[in-house]
Amino acid sequence: MITRTAPRWQTSDWQSLLKSSIRSVDDLCDALNITVEDLPVARKAGDDFAVKVPLPYLQRIRPETPNDPLLLQVLPQALEMQAAPGFSTDPLEEAQFNPVPGLIHKYHGRVLLISSPHCAIHCRYCFRRHFDYDANTPGRRHWQPALDYIAADSDIHEVILSGGDPLSATDSYLHELVNAIAAIPHVKTLRLHTRLPVVIPQRITQGLLDAITGTRLKTLMVLHINHANEIDDDVSQAVKVLQSAGIRLLNQSVLLHGVNDSFEALSDLLWKLYALDVGAYYLHVLDMIDGAAHFLCDDSQSMALYNKLAAKLPGYMLPRLVRETASHTSKTPLI
């Protein structure tokens, strides 16, 4: 018998936490008692790609610390408005792998569904910050072409719910979508790529667990954590709840200058993930998206850092250092 009461640590419901998110540079600065350089330009960057920081994440940012690794991930900076060579609005050219609305089929056997246009947080380095969600989120009643596409290709064994963030959709929406996917016999695995359990751990409700584990599909969840400070007690608790429901958890990070591009930062993160039984999956180098150039670590630095980790940590704690390129139909390892 599965209990339907919310776990004790869930003091607020996730939708109100989402609604009360910080949504401007000024509010973010006020909340943390910081100032930013060239505020008018930073505000413009915030108009370009809106600020969004929910309170449970805000609470993990140290006040009065302009270089806090969590703050840097969410704070618009004047630097974003400078054009940088090699950076563009669609570095992955995903449009060519978009056969029906909401579906990206680039890798063998796996398709991505853009199952929600929204995220719980806006990460300044995001490669989808310029993505045309309006054209690519079919909404509840319009998934049929994507489902027909999956049904027609028996090589597709895995459906990845991505976004945006798939967990920003409601439980009932996910329940419906997951059941429709499970009705396609050759699909074996449901994977969710999400940052929500980290950003708002209160999102992990019994209704969500029922929606994503209630079918014959094997459920895998890939979290997105870049720094050890993102993992507090509530996040650890959410991880345990997901694991107790039989969901295998992995993590991917993006290597970000100023945030986690040091041996200490990455090693702390990997030890924390190990303690939580969350597998380290990928360490991505930055996608060359307009507005994110200030996060770039060059390849030789990235590889040197990775080699340092490999020299100190057991192999099972190491993620793969990879790059996503427009032409490759798999991630490309740097080492």
Ligand X SMILES: *Cc1c(COP(=O)(O)O)cnc(C)c1O
Q: Is 324 in the site for ligand X (CB under 6 A)?
A: yes
The minimum distance between CB 307 and ligand SF4, in angstroms, equals: 26
Q: How many CA atoms lie within 13 A of 165 on its CB side?
A: 22
Q: No. of H helices and E strands in the chain?
A: 12, 9
The minimum distance between CB 46 and ligand X, in angstroms, equals: 27
C-alpha 265/C-alpha 156 separation (Å) is 37
For residue 314, how many other CB atoms are within 10 A of its CB? 9
The minimum distance between CB 105 and ligand X, in angstroms, equals: 8
Task: Write b or e for each residue in 47-75: b if 16 or more Cβ atoms lie within 10 A of its Cβ, otherwise e.
Answer: eebebbbbebbbebbeeeeeebbbbbbbb
Measured between alpha carbons, how far is residue 136 from residues 97, 148, 266 in Å?
12, 16, 34
Q: Which of residues 274, 288, 331, 334 is near ligand X by CB under 6 A? A: 331
Q: Which does 46 bind (CB under 5 to 8 A by kind): ligand SF4, ligand X, none?
A: none
Residue with the two structure tokens 């006020």: 30
Q: Which residues pair with 321 in a beta bridge?
A: 283
Return the residues of window 77-136 that contact ligand X according to CB under 6 A. Answer: 104, 106-107, 110, 112
Q: Are strands 103-104 and 110-116 parallel, antiparallel or unpaired?
A: antiparallel
For residue 246, how many other CB atoms are within 10 A of its CB? 10
The answer to the question of whether 29 is labelled as a binding residue is no
Q: Is 218 in the site for ligand X (CB under 6 A)?
A: no
The answer to the question of whether 297 is labelled as a binding residue is no
Amino acid, res. 110: R
The minimum distance between CB 148 and ligand X, in angstroms, equals: 19
Q: Which does 123 bind (CB under 5 to 8 A by kind): ligand SF4, ligand X, none?
A: ligand SF4
For residue 169, how many other CB atoms are within 10 A of its CB? 23
Q: Which does 104 bind (CB under 5 to 8 A by kind): ligand SF4, ligand X, none?
A: ligand X
From the list 25-33, 94-102, 115-123, 211-219, the region that binds ligand SF4 by CB under 6 A is 115-123
DSSP result, 99-116: SBTTEE--STTEEEEEEE
79/187 with CB nearer ligand SF4? 79
The answer to the question of whether 119 is labelled as a binding residue is yes
**Is there a contact between 178 and 207 (Cβ–Cβ < 8 Å)?**
no
Return the residues of window 4-63 that contact ligand SF4 according to CB under 6 A. Answer: none
C-alpha 30/C-alpha 34 separation (Å) is 7
Q: Which does 294 bind (CB under 5 to 8 A by kind): ligand X, ligand SF4, none?
A: none
Interface pattern 119-158 for ligand SF4 (x via CB under 6 A): x-xxx--x-x------------------------------
User: Which residues form the interface with ligand SF4 (CB under 6 A)?
Assistant: 119, 121-123, 126, 128, 163, 165, 195, 224
Binding-site residue ranges for [4Fe-4S] cluster: 119, 123, 126
User: Which residues form the interface with ligand X (CB under 6 A)?
Assistant: 104, 106-107, 110, 112, 160, 324, 330-331
